[in-house]
Structure 1
Amino acid sequence: MMDEFEAIRPYADAEVPAVMARLFANPEFLDILAHFRFPRLAGPMGWALKPLIAQRLRREFAGIDSVDTLQARIEMYLDRTIERATDGVTYSGVEGLQPGCAYLFLANHRDIVMDPAFVNYAVFQARMRTPRIAIGDNLLQRPFVSDLMRLNKSFIVRRSITGRREKLAAYQVLSAYINHSIRNDGESIWIAQAEGRAKDGDDRTDSAILKMLHMSCKDEPFSQALSALRPTPVSISYEYDPCDQAKARELYIRATTGGYSKAPGEDDTSIALGITGYKGRVHVSFGTPITQVPDDPKLLAAEIDRQILCDYRLFPVNYLAYSIWDDRDPNLPVPTLEELFSEAEIARAQAEWGKRLAACPSVQQPYLIQQYATPVRNQHRIKAGLPL
């Protein structure tokens, strides 16, 4: 790997054993695992549990000397997480991808860790190489988190830089790295369609990200440079979002005070809840790779949006939320729940949705409703040929 990418690239195979040894000796990492596996004992018995956990990890991951073998081992844990925290995961469109071909997966973004994990899982099941994953440096405050993510093919997007020139230089390196990955290394890339999660359920592609991808290939027209990356929209839908209450609270605070500052450890809580919290059904849809890229980044963003929003799997809860949403469009032709779903499905959704509404303070409820209702409006606007 070229030296210019040293600070942001994922770890190479040769680095795996040393990084894993460093992780298994990290007290913070072992502490989190102790709390996760033995929540009651971790406090009083942490001193005794941590060496045992470290020993078990060393035994379980002994002999792993490449990223691929590590991912194959992690797949077993992901299977278990999927069983525990979902009512099943389905995929569509993955059969349209060519093995041995590298793609730029541009995805809607709802969950920090699970979005790329589910995409990885689908690609892995299809016997294709898993993508390299873009992750913001704001999530990598602690060295062990950075080690964990870079072991699992993540590369770093330096979002915390403030100076204009430094930002420009960082984006230039990022652009070069993504282009080098796909064009030279033949490795796919997963990147969110916009910075941060769409906490209000409104999935939109930021054309600035598409311009960034062109920065390192200015000698080629935009359409030609982006075509070489095979941009492929990916839409992920969670029936229920484990972080929906926290998102509603943040949106309410932003709306009423004009800003929101995260508490220390808030991202860690979101990550843990996103992994372990109940999601209901999950659907990941791979769109059609865009071969005819327009020369205008805004037109490319519109095509990515069209695919992501049309491929988004709407569940009964989305229509339940839409029916009580103050911002719903009375002129928009939206089918009724009864036309789309069985009685049993509707009854199950009403019970779960009722629980979620009841757990949400009344002033924050409009923001909870908005998260689930917005995808209904967006999809049916596109289907009716209306502007978003």
Structure 2
Amino acid sequence: MFDDIRPYRNDEVTAVIQKLINEPALQASIAGIKLPLTYKIFPSLAKLIVKVYFKSRLRKFKCIDDIQKEVAKYLYHLIDTSCSHFSYNGISKIDPNKPSLFISNHRDIVMDVALVNLALYQSGITTVEAAVGDNLLNQPWVSDLMRLNKSFIVKRSEKTKRAMLTASKQLSSYIHYTLSENQQNIWIAQREGRAKDGIDKTNSALISMLLLNKGKETSISEYLTQLNIIPVAISYEFDPCDQDKAKELAAKEATGEYQKSENEDFDSITRGLVGKKGHVHIEFCDPILGDFEDSKAIAQAIDEKIIANYKLYDSNQKAYELLKNTEIEPSDNPLYNRLQQLTNEQKKWLLTMYANPVLAKETLNT
């Protein structure tokens, strides 16, 4: 019933890894990153080197837990090199004996869920199965990699309304089944696509999808208890992709559209992983429980918790202040260097994405 979207199981790991080892496109992708000069001059040799390396490294992986432990090592390294400080709070609000549906704001394609997972892993809590849109899985080997690391597929590219509804019902059923029957934590972003403008707002359609599996005899309050939604506020001092986002937002404002380059998502993933982020904080909020009128009311409750628990940094406050000024002057403000090489419109958007969390908190408190 869920074979086309679920993560791989332990008994599938060996076969999938062998398939990945022999995947030319994956070999080429890694060789282009790790051995760029060799790959340019001797592409076959570079791919062979990658294949031999894969064999020596990946053959030790026999189950999903082996892969998760290796990912954790890589994450520790990433945090050491890209974050000046990583912190989390609110773990006590998570009942380790009751599976949770974590819904977070969405700023980075990979790091959001990776950091949530790391916080859980360090706290002895089961890591999540993570939702990933099929729009990011343009190659079968990318899908294989994600599904090996406890990701399930969200079908976003269905062509008809009927197909989209069928996919939504399947996803809703899968999430409830995974929580209730498999006793497995789940993570999903509060909206499709990153909040490039810094406005963290839950798409009520996401909540409507979650409620599709609710029986008519079950109240919203009862179903929310079963889902055990825990909002998560993820706060980055600096966004490694902020200039790219500013350019996209400025282009959309000027022309009404923006055309992604062929490898733009992959480049964003790479930059988000290795780029400097400064301080990063994760706050786990109280569960969303009680009686709500509809999906919009639930979405609003999630938004309020995420906004209230979002950690503001000096970068947010400085951007808020700078937006009030017509001229951006050099100062000790680390945002200044990020504004270089940008047009005035692009500068406005970069500052706006950092300032919007400040505005959101002000609005929430009024």
Corresponding residue for residue 71 of structure 1? 68
Segment drifting more, 81-90 vs 147-156: 81-90
**How many matched pairs?**
361
Question: Aligned match of 1:137 in 131, 134, 138?
Answer: 134
- 8 Å contact kept, 2:113–2:187: yes
Q: Post-superposition shift, 1:84?
A: 1.3
Q: Does 1:110 align with 2:107?
A: yes
Corresponding residue for residue 283 of structure 2? 285
Q: Does 1:371 align with 2:353?
A: yes
Partner Cα distance (1:31, 1:218) in 2: 48
Q: What do the CA deviations read for 1:208-247 (whole angstroms, capped 9, x no partner)?
A: 1111101012322222212211000001111111111111
**Identity over aligned residues, as a percent?**
39
Letter in structure 2 aligned against 1:244: D
Corresponding residue for residue 86 of structure 1? 83
Judged with a 3 Å threshold, the aligned counterparts in structure 2 of structure 1 residues 48 and 142 are, in CA distance, closer, same or farther, namely same
Partner Cα distance (2:206, 2:345) in 1: 34
Q: Does 1:44 align with 2:41?
A: yes
Corresponding residue for residue 257 of structure 2? 259
Q: Post-superposition shift, 1:293?
A: 4.4
Partner Cα distance (2:265, 2:134) in 1: 12
Partner Cα distance (1:36, 1:240) in 2: 24
Q: Matched residue of 2:212: which SS?
A: helix
Q: What do the CA deviations read for 1:150-178 (whole angstroms, capped 9, x no partner)?
A: 11111111111131111101000000000
Q: Does 1:178 align with 2:160?
A: no
Corresponding residue for residue 338 of structure 1? none
Q: Post-superposition shift, 1:40?
A: 4.0
Letter in structure 1 aligned against 2:275: G
Partner Cα distance (1:82, 1:29) in 2: 25
Letter in structure 1 aligned against 2:274: T
Partner Cα distance (2:55, 2:275) in 1: 28
Q: Unaligned regions of 5+ residues in structure 1, if any?
A: 328-348
Letter in structure 2 aligned against 1:361: T
Partner Cα distance (1:54, 1:89) in 2: 34
Partner Cα distance (1:318, 1:296) in 2: 33
Letter in structure 2 aligned against 1:198: A
Q: Does 1:194 align with 2:191?
A: yes
Q: What do the CA deviations read for 1:20-51 (whole angstroms, capped 9, x no partner)?
A: 11111112212222233334443224432322
Corresponding residue for residue 341 of structure 2? 359
The equivalences for 1:1-388 within 5 A come to 4-219=1-216, 220-326=218-324, 350-382=332-364, 384=365, 386=366
Q: Matched residue of 2:106: which SS?
A: coil
Corresponding residue for residue 328 of structure 2? none
Partner Cα distance (1:139, 1:103) in 2: 25
Judged with a 3 Å threshold, the aligned counterparts in structure 2 of structure 1 residues 270 and 323 are, in CA distance, closer, same or farther, namely same
- 8 Å contact kept, 1:100–1:128: no
Partner Cα distance (1:5, 1:251) in 2: 37
Corresponding residue for residue 333 of structure 1? none
- 8 Å contact kept, 2:8–2:148: yes
Partner Cα distance (1:151, 1:65) in 2: 11
Q: Matched residue of 2:232: which SS?
A: strand
- 8 Å contact kept, 1:227–1:293: no
- 8 Å contact kept, 1:201–1:370: yes
- 8 Å contact kept, 2:32–2:39: yes
Letter in structure 1 aligned against 2:106: H
Partner Cα distance (1:267, 1:38) in 2: 21
Q: Matched residue of 1:216: which SS?
A: coil
> Over the residues paired in the alignment, what is the CA RMSD in angstroms?
1.7
Deviation >4 Å, runs of 4+? none
Q: Matched residue of 1:217: which SS?
A: coil
Q: Post-superposition shift, 1:351?
A: 4.3
Q: TM-score, normalised by structure 1?
A: 0.89
Q: Matched residue of 2:12: which SS?
A: helix
